[in-house]
Amino acid sequence: MANIILTGGNQGIGYFMAEKFLQNGDCVAVLDLENDNLRELKKEYPGRLLDCICDMRDAGGVVETVNRIVASFQTIDIAIHNACRCTFDSMADTADEVYQEVFDVNYFGALRLSRAVLPYMRAQHCGRVVFTSSGVGVMGFANISPYASSKGAVEALAKCLSLEYEKEGITFHILHPPLTRTKSSAPFPFPAEYKADPRTVGYGLAENINGKGFVICHSFLQKVQMELCYLFSLRMGRFMSGKMAALSGREGNI
C-alpha cells in the first residue's frame, strides 16, 4: 500500500488514476480546484481518499495542503503533478500573459509540489516524484506552443532533479499519456476516434507508476511511440502536425 499525492485528479486521466490506486489498496490525496467528481469515490473508499481544494498557482496553499496530507497519511511515497492548463492558438494570436498562465500551472505547479514534498521524502530517504508530460513537449506541435513549451520545461526539470536527488533515494519520472478524450483536449482538432479512452489510459498509468524507467506510459505501444518522438523529435512533430491538418480537413468535409 502506498500513500500518493495526485494533483488534477477530479476528472479525466487523473480521476481514473486515483480510482485505480484506490482499487489497488493505496491511499490517495487529490489536489484540484474542484472535488465534485470525487464524492462517490470517497463513499466507496472511506478514509483512503482525501479531496483537497488547492490551486497549484498558490505556493503557500500547496505547502499547507501537503502538510495536512502528511499529518493524515504520515508518509508520502509518490507525488504526481497532473494538473494542467492547455490553450490552442498560434503564437501570433497568443498574449504573453497566456504563456505565463500556462507555465504557472504546468511548470511552476510541478516545482511547487516538488518543493512541498521533498523535505518529507528526504527525511524518509525515499520517494517518487512524477510529472505528467506530453508528446508535444518532446516533438513540438503547431498552434499549441504555450502548453508544449511548458511540458518541455517539465521534462528538463525532472531530469535535473533526478540528478540532484538520486543519492537520497528519491527518483523523478515523467508520465507520457497519449492524446486522450478529456476536457482539456476537447478543442484539439483531432477526430474523437483518434483520442484514447481516459479510463484505459489512467488505469494503465496507475498500474505502471512504479516502473523503473524515467518515462512511464500506459501501454507498450505508447512507449514505442514516445521512443520515436525522443529519437526523431522534429520529424515526428512535422508528421503529426500534418496528420492533424489532414484529418481535420477530412472531418470538415464529412
DSSP secondary structure, 21-40, as one string: HHHTT-EEEEEES--GGGHH
Distance from first CA to last CA of the chain, Å, rounded?
Answer: 50
Name the domain count of the chain.
1
**Positions in the chain short of pLDDT 50:** 250-254
The CATH number linked to 46 is 3.40.50.720
Give CA–CA dist 85/156, Å, rounded.
18
Its pTM surpasses 0.85: yes
Three-class secondary structure of residue 130 per DSSP? strand
Q: What is the pLDDT of residues 195-244, one digit of tens each?
A: 788 999 999 999 999 999 999 999 999 999 899 989 988 888 888 777 77
Return the C-alpha cell found at 115.
518543493
Handedness of CA 113, 115, 121, 123 (dihedral sign): negative
Domain range spanning residue 220?
3-253
Look at the block and give the residue holding cell 482539456.
184
